[in-house]
Amino acid sequence: MVINYGSFYDFPHLFDKLMNDLHDPQPTATRRATFPPLYISEDDTSVFVRALLPGAAMEDVELIIEDNTLVLRGELKPVQGKYHQQERPTGSFQRLIKINVPIHKDGITATMKSGMLFVQLPKSTAMQPRTIHIQPR
């Protein structure tokens, strides 16, 4: 089972934003979404994390596994030019993904293609189901 506690780590920022929004004279202020959006799934052998990172270069993205937490951080560099409207976020970002199963850390793989980051975290073999054969006496 995978539980995302990223919002709890960002609680002080969210509380400050709430207080600022209460005193803001413009109630229609733009809302910043959690970035990057993630798809987290699992099967019997692995946990899979996909992150949408359009425009990000591989060298600008960093993955760290600490204890049961996958840390995804990086920076989206702004494209130079004059804009009438910009809807894609730029700047630094960080997501913390709590993994609630033991992971085989040496088997973790990550690939990136067309703005999509794919991370496969293999579960420890101790967590995988095993069939026990019954022997006659």
45 falls within a domain: yes
Q: Looking at residue 93, what is its pLDDT? A: 92
pLDDT in tens, the chain (137 residues): 566 665 566 677 777 777 777 766 555 444 456 889 999 999 989 999 999 998 888 999 999 999 889 999 999 888 888 888 877 788 899 999 999 999 999 999 999 999 999 999 999 887 667 788 888 88
Picking from 66, 73, 74, the residue whose alpha carbon sits closest to that of residue 105 is 66
132 falls within a domain: no
102 falls within a domain: yes
Q: Looking at residue 51, what is its pLDDT? A: 95
82 falls within a domain: no
Assessment of whether the complete model's pTM goes beyond 0.85: no
What CATH number does residue 98 fall under? Answer: 2.60.40.790
30 falls within a domain: no
How buried is residue 32: exposed, middle or buried, by Cβ count under 10 Å (0-12/13-18/19+)?
Answer: exposed
Residue-number span of the structural domain to which 63 is assigned: 2-24+35-77+91-127
6 falls within a domain: yes
Q: Looking at residue 24, what is its pLDDT? A: 63
113 falls within a domain: yes
Q: Looking at residue 41, what is its pLDDT? A: 95
Name the H helices within the chain: 6-9, 11-23
Q: Number of folded domains in the chain? A: 1
134 falls within a domain: no
